[in-house]
Amino acid sequence: MFTPSPDYVQHFANRDFLLLGDSLIADNDWQPRMPQFTLHNLGVPGANTRDLLMSLPGLKHQFSQAGIIMVMTGINDLAVGNYRFTENLKKIVVTLSHEYPSAELLVNSLLPIQVPHLGLSAIPLINDTIAGICRLTGSCYVDIFSRFQQAEGELFQNDGIHLSTKGYELWARTVLEHIAFLVEDD
């Protein structure tokens, strides 16, 4: 279990942590796994990158400031064969960077989902593109793909897409470790 330092807690005290994405975000109760933050789970089951992009103007009206913003999106695009969703993802990241310039922006890699129509190399190639978007925009790339591939145990539900409790625990721990690194780097 990750234990945050006092500097870590102080750095993000009283700052909103926005969680944006699809059912992978929406289906988890993140607050018990990250009690040091004021979390706002804005995940929408079934949402794709276009849906998230179109929701951003309303987000700024709802949350004028944020300390951390985490994005996980793209799986629903892949499910319908949209492999060019990274264009929308780049627009999302650029928009969030512009609207929330003091926020730490965490962009998650895609998970190693288990769906028959995707080749073994498709997700790593897409994740390379996502990592490039993060380098270009100065956002933090959270490589949960590699963490999941290295982990043991049942991380996914039977559908091969949605996460088990153990999968969410690993993801939350990975995110907290990235945030700790950002605090140390400040």
Q: Identify the CATH number of the domain in which residue 46 sits.
A: 3.40.50.1110
* Side-chain-facing half-sphere of 82: CA atoms under 13 Å: 14
**Two tokens, residue 104:** 């730490």
Residue 15: the pLDDT is 73
Contacts of 13 (CB under 8 A, 6+ apart): none
Assess if residue 23 is contained within a domain: yes
Assess if residue 1 is contained within a domain: no
Structural domain total, the chain: 1
- In Å, what is the CA distance from 135 to each residue of 14, 94, 142? 28, 12, 12
**What is the extent of the structural domain holding 13?**
6-185
Per-residue b or e along 67-77, where b marks 16 or more CB atoms closer than 10 Å to that residue's CB: bbbbbbbbbbb
pTM, 2 dp: 0.91
> Tens place of pLDDT for every residue, the chain, 186 residues?
445 556 655 655 567 899 999 999 999 999 999 998 999 999 999 999 999 999 999 999 999 999 999 999 999 999 888 989 999 999 999 999 999 999 999 999 999 998 777 777 899 999 999 999 999 999 999 999 999 999 999 999 999 899 999 999 999 999 999 998 887 765
Residue 117: the pLDDT is 77
Residue 181: the pLDDT is 84
